[in-house]
Structure 1
Amino acid sequence: MAEGLFRFAAADLDDVEVSSAGIAAYGGDRVSPETLQILNERGVGLEGFRSRMVDEGIIQQATHIFCMTRSHLETLEALYPQACEKLYLVCEFAEIDGEVGRDVPDPIGGGRGAYEQVAACLDQAIAGIIGFLRGTGKGQAG
């Protein structure tokens, strides 16, 4: 969901490339039906998406890496200490529900409402990220 929403929101930024990878993702998984439905309702296409695991190549290529949770960020800091300066929380640049830097909740098993809450959280977070990128010279976001 985050990749689709970020790609859609950053479509007018010529020098931003968006991709995603997971710490515990199973390579090749499709988008959940709930995610696909919410994205389709917003005009965001992500039908061909397949999950992939983060690796050294992805870390090296990215200029900015936005992590969904503090736990993800800490895991990447431990695995790739050379990348610490480009690691951020997705919600680091927006106040959401009175909190800056909160974790994006995991909607799996929570039904459609949980996915809608995540989409709303990501909308706010991505707006903050785009503002941040506009001020830093952009680059490759992971």
Structure 2
Amino acid sequence: MKNSITKERLFPLFFLPIYINGSTKVISSSTRKTFDTSENIKTLPYEKFDAYIHDSLPNNNSPLLIHHFSGDINFASHTLHTNEDFHWQFHMNIILSTGYFCQFQWGSKDKAYKVFNRHLAPNCEGFNAKDPNICFMDQWGQM
């Protein structure tokens, strides 16, 4: 069932889960993982994705500030406190160039990451997944 549009995938980032569900795809976090990109797994034009950011950072007084953008489009900034979520939906465009970046600020830490593009979308498929449809990488720890 590899490449199934209905198959859920989890892409992790930071110590906060970011889920992309593309009927569904996902982004999330926890432990370091290196992806083997030798397989030819494709993302389809118009494939639907639901993105979720969940703040699972340690409970303290510093909220997580998120600013996400895609190409020329800057979306509104969002403030998340521990265990709060933010969600948005999108479709892959016909030329497979859809991409999203997020800037994360937490206390004195400030980093921006590419969180979605056609190359990142298939990374958590099959043997790359720690659990079926789940894989992890920790980029927040590199700050």
Normalised by the size of structure 1, how large is the TM-score?
A: 0.28
Normalised by the size of structure 2, how large is the TM-score?
A: 0.28
Bigger helix fraction: 1
